[in-house]
Amino acid sequence: MSNIQSNSRIGIFGFGCVGQGLYDVLQTIEQAGIEVAGICVKDKEKPRSLPASTFTYNPQDLLQDESITIFAELISDADEAYSIVTQALKAGKTIVSANKKMLASHLPELIELQHNYNGTLLYEAAVGGSIPIIRTLESYYSSEPLQQVSGILNGSSNFILSKMESEGLSYSLALQQAQELGFAETDPTLDVGGFDSVNKLCLITAHAFGLTITPEQILRFGIDTVRKEDLEFAKTINARVRLVASAEVNPEDELSLRVLPTLVTDQKELYHVTNETNGVTIDPVFAGQQFIKGLGAGSRPTGSAVWADVSAALSGYRYSYPKTAVKTIALNQDKKIDIYLRCPADSSLPEANWENLVKVQETGEAIYFTAILPVSELQNISSYLAGKQIFIAEITAEQAMDIALKFSENEAVVYS
Ligand code: HSE
């Protein structure tokens, strides 16, 4: 911290969960040596923990203040965040953002703006809360090829699944708790629908594999259709349901990107990642597999990640997107994956190139299947499946066999 200018002034946009976390960190770390120049918020009526003189309601009051060294954009409105970040970058300023939706939607433009105007944008807090995943991929693994980066990237979904499993909470009560604890997005559909994990995976992909892709290119299923029956089914094969985001490269340099509920066995690290904790596995070609976990949501953990970016930026750190120079990897969603499906009794599966489609169990309420399908086919039928409240989860080929054996007394029906 010694090389941070002691007269640095920070302008903060947003004073919600993350903004307050950053403020708290800045107040607690005495050596921070950073003066809060002002905090811009939207709602004039909302009671605040700081004197009214600390706040401004016009972003331009901060953006045009030449005495400010660095900005922290910590608001939930993605359009407003885009406008703040682009204005700062066009002025060649340094800004830290935690708005993963905005970042994922505009990443190529934001990279170009940094290049054209010599501004700096860092966003560690946007992915995995307190876990230093972006900087690890960007800096430490700048020159080692990676085979896979995958993990739990949404604290709220993991909190809900954990509470349903361990305390038998209903889905809606667990979601309500995630909201009360400040883990969930303002619109929690972003969490439980898998959108938030998709946005984070876009950012990971840019640093890990040098590809800027749009959120729509990623296969996405969330946990919004999960029922306690799915958790019970997972238990029969010693697994838990986890919402896993994965970016996986095959030997032909083809990259598969997906966010899917996954039945994770007790042999895997992610099985033991509970509540709002996130966990990410990195598979470098030479180093061997690594796993990093930490608090993925919440005021102080996310504030800590923003502070790490602020102090790094003030010391001159910026992203160079080193993997973009090596353009060998291309997105290819033809990878075939094994899946588990639970269809409500009044629904049926759509036409698709199902392989090994096996009915493993039928109850009054639902029919359970396992099958194999390419990721691209699942993308094509994802709206249909979501509309019919059909829950799907990725499984391994070994789990598919395990399920076939466990449920063989139910006379599994092979469809194709
Ligand atoms: N809503 C997000 C989550 C916050 O639950 O992970 C942290 O990005």
Residue 61: CB partners within 8 Å, gap ≥ 6? 38, 40
- Beta-bridge partner residues of 255: 249, 331
* Structure tokens given for 6: 């002691």
Task: Give residues (CB < 6 A) around ligand 1.
Answer: 129, 154-156, 183-185, 191, 196, 296-297
- Residue 116: predicted pLDDT: 98
- Determine the distance separating the centroid of ligand 1 and the alpha carbon of 190, expressed in angstroms: 9
Domain boundaries, the chain: 144-297, 336-412
Nearest CA to ligand 1 atom 1: 184
**DSSP conformational letter for 349:** P
Of 291, 286, 100, nearest to 206 by C-alpha is 100
Residue pLDDT, tens place only, 187-196: 999 999 999 9
Calculate ∠ Cα 205-226-204, nearest 5°. Answer: 10
- Determine the distance separating the centroid of ligand 1 and the alpha carbon of 335, expressed in angstroms: 28
* Structure tokens given for 162: 């954990």
- Determine the distance separating the centroid of ligand 1 and the alpha carbon of 191, expressed in angstroms: 7
Nearest CA to ligand 1 atom 7: 297
Q: Which ligand 1 atom is the nearest neighbour of the CA of 100?
A: 8
Mutate to test the pocket of ligand 1, among 185, 190, 195, 259 (most ligand atoms within 8 A of CB): 185
Report d(CA 20, CA 98) in Å as an integer. 13
Provide the H-helix boundaries in 130-170. 133-135, 155-167
CA separation (Å) from 56 to 41, 59, 87?
A: 6, 7, 18
Report d(CA 108, CA 275) in Å as an integer. 33
Q: Which ligand 1 atom is the nearest neighbour of the CA of 200?
A: 8
Backbone angles phi, psi at 244, to 5 degrees: -110, 130
**What pTM, to 2 d.p., does this model score?**
0.96
Length of the chain: 416
Report d(CA 13, CA 33) in Å as an integer. 19
- Residue 1: predicted pLDDT: 40
Catalytic residue among 200, 268, 293, 359: 200
The CATH code of domain 144-297 reads 3.30.360.10
Spell out a b/e string for 125-146, using b for 16 or more CB atoms within 10 Å of the CB, else e: bbbbbbbbbbbbbbeebeeebb
Of 245, 299, 357, 336, nearest to 98 by C-alpha is 299
- Determine the distance separating the centroid of ligand 1 and the alpha carbon of 222, expressed in angstroms: 14
Domain 144-297 and domain 336-412, same fold? Reply is: no
Q: Which ligand 1 atom is the nearest neighbour of the CA of 127?
A: 8
Residues of the chain with pLDDT under 70: 1-6, 31-32, 409-416
Calculate ∠ Cα 413-415-416, nearest 5°. Answer: 135
CATH of 336-412, one of 3.40.30, 3.40.50, 3.40.720, 3.30.70: 3.30.70
Residue pLDDT, tens place only, 87-120: 999 999 999 999 999 999 999 999 999 999 999 9
- Determine the distance separating the centroid of ligand 1 and the alpha carbon of 398, expressed in angstroms: 32
Residue pLDDT, tens place only, 203-228: 999 999 999 999 999 999 999 999 99
Give catalytic status of residue 359 as yes or no. Answer: no
- Residue 3: predicted pLDDT: 46
- Beta-bridge partner residues of 361: 368
The three-state secondary structure class of 345 is coil
